[in-house]
């Protein structure tokens, strides 16, 4: 068994970390990152990326994978990093900075000698699927990476996304209906500005794209144009809910990992929300119907979302 499996931080250590002054924590993080950059040439690039969608199960699948004995966590493992957001937000920091987040080739080779299997390493950012520059950036940096895409009923996804933004104080509009009514104005010109100014970060594009993120076909086309269809696993969120073990098996087989059955598969980032009004649901089901049809045409797979 690989010694690079996910590290569960003991509760006493978590408690102790809470008492460490923030300036000390920041200094330690900076020192660790400098060390990672100094040793960047000795570090791996990811074998897989979980690229989205937001509120589609990305965190659950990531946490399932880092528990696999042949998946190495990001560096340093105690920080339990899910993504450095390189291909969406921090691309300007350069590849050395990106590599600094991954285990060294030496560590992976040692683990392979112990277990007989070289561990995989990866990361997960649900913004990658939606960011207009991410597909080409990923193709340039890791053209052979395997890409996991999680898609959720876009009506439910948008509603969950709104309440998640409200909970993190990133959404000031008091109702979901107000937020989706404001979306066109909020996003006006933002994609074009990102494309013309690669260093620009748009909070509206990232935070308030409730409807746009559910138009999946237009997001998938740039990825399919750059990567072979066999490099993408498209997994419905609903499969994660109805058959977590089957979904986890599909992910392991896609990554050519030995199939293991973990003792418990928890769903992460579950968010209790008030019920959506019937009128709003009907409005959004109608809105997404042509986009869902385009997705089915693109992938050849029907999705039972139009109700």
Mean pLDDT of the chain: 92
Class of domain 11-299 (CATH, top level): alpha beta
Determine the Cα–Cα distance for residues 174 and 210; give it in Å rounded to an integer: 15
Q: What are the boundaries of each domain within the chain? A: 11-299
Is the link from the previous residue into 53 a cis peptide, with omega within 30 of 0? yes
Residue with tokens 């579950």: 270
Residue with tokens 């693109």: 298
Determine the Cα–Cα distance for residues 150 and 169; give it in Å rounded to an integer: 25
155-202 pLDDT tens trace:
999 999 999 999 999 999 999 999 999 999 999 999 999 999 999 999
Using N-to-C axis directions, what is the helix angle for 154-167 and 278-299, rounded to 10°?
Answer: 120
Instruction: Kindly give, in sequence order, each residue whose CB lies less than 8 Å from that of residue 273, ignoring residues fewer than 6 positions away.
Output: 159, 160, 163
pLDDT category of residue 215 using cuts at 50, 70 and 90: very high
Mean pLDDT of all residues in 248-257: 97
Reported as type and span, the H/E element at residue 126 is none
Cβ atoms of 143 and 47 within 8 Å: the answer is no
pLDDT category of residue 149 using cuts at 50, 70 and 90: very high
Cβ atoms of 175 and 166 within 8 Å: the answer is no
113-125 pLDDT tens trace:
999 999 999 999 9
42: Cα separation from own chain's centroid: 25
- pTM for the model: 0.90
């Amino acid at each position: 068994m690989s010694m690079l499996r996910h590290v569960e931080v003991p509760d006493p250590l978590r408690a102790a970390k809470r008492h460490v002054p923030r300036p000390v924590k920041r200094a330690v993080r900076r020192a660790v990152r400098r060390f990672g950059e100094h040793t960047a040439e000795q570090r791996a690039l990811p074998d897989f990326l979980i690229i989205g969608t937001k509120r589609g199960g990305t965190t659950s699948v990531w946490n399932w994978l880092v528990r696999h004995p042949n998946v190495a966590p990001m560096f340093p493992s105690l920080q339990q990093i899910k993504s450095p957001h390189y291909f969406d937000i921090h691309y300007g920091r350069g590849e050395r900075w990106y590599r600094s987040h991954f285990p060294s080739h030496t560590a992976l080779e040692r683990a392979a000698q112990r277990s007989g299997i070289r561990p995989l390493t990866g990361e997960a950012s649900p913004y990658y699927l939606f960011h207009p520059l991410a597909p080409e950036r990923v193709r340039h940096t890791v053209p052979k990476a395997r890409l996991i895409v999680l898609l959720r009923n876009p009506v439910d996804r948008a509603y969950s996304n709104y309440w998640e933004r409200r909970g993190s104080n990133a959404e000031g509009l008091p109702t979901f209906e107000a937020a989706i009514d404001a979306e066109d104005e909020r996003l006006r010109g933002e994609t074009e500005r990102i494309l013309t100014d690669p260093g620009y970060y748009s909070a509206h594009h990232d935070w308030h794209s409730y409807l746009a993120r559910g138009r999946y076909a237009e997001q998938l086309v740039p990825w399919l144009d750059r990567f072979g269809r066999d490099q993408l696993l498209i997994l419905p969120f609903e499969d994660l809910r109805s058959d977590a073990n089957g979904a986890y098996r599909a992910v392991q087989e896609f990554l050519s990992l030995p199939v293991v059955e973990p003792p418990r598969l928890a769903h992460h980032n579950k968010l209790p929300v008030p019920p959506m009004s019937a009128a709003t649901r009907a409005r959004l089901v109608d809105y997404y119907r042509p986009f869902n049809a385009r997705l089915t045409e693109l992938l050849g797979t029907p999705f039972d979302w139009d109700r």
